[in-house]
Amino acid sequence: MGVEEKRVGELRALKLTGPDGSTVTVATHGAHVVSWEKNVGGRPEELLFLSSKAVFKAPKSIRGGIPICFPQFGNLGPCAAQHGFARNSEWTLTSEVSPSATAITLTMESSEESLKVFPYEFAINFIVTLSDAGALITRMEVVNNGTSVMPFTCALHTYFATPDVSQVSIEGLMGTEYLDYMQDRKQMSQTENAVGFAKEVDCIYMDTPDTLKLHCSPTRTILLKKTGLPDAVVWNPWIAKAQAMGDFGDDEYKTMFCVEAALAKGSGAPVQLGGGMQWACEQELSVA
pLDDT in tens, 208-240: 999 999 999 999 999 999 999 999 999 999 999
Q: Give strand pairing partners of 195.
A: 170
Q: Is 157 a catalytic residue?
A: yes
- Report if pTM > 0.85: yes
Q: Which residue has the higher pLDDT, 157 or 267?
A: 157
Check residue 40 and give its pLDDT. 76
Averaged pLDDT of the chain: 96
Check residue 42 and give its pLDDT. 76
Q: Which of 1-5, 63-67, 247-251 is the least confident region?
A: 1-5
Confidence of residue 7 (pLDDT cuts 50, 70, 90): very high
Active-site entry in 121, 252, 260, 284: 260
Check residue 128 and give its pLDDT. 98
Active-site entry in 32, 157, 252, 284: 157
Instruction: Note the pLDDT tens digit of each residue in 15-67.
Output: 999 999 999 999 999 999 999 999 877 788 999 999 999 999 999 999 999 99
Instruction: Note the pLDDT tens digit of each residue in 81-117.
Output: 899 999 999 999 999 999 999 999 999 999 999 999 9
Q: Is 32 a catalytic residue?
A: no
Percent with pLDDT over 70 in the chain = 100
Percent with pLDDT over 90 in the chain = 94
Confidence of residue 12 (pLDDT cuts 50, 70, 90): very high
Mean per-residue pLDDT, 262-270: 93
Check residue 41 and give its pLDDT. 73
Instruction: Note the pLDDT tens digit of each residue in 131-155.
Output: 999 999 999 999 999 999 999 999 9
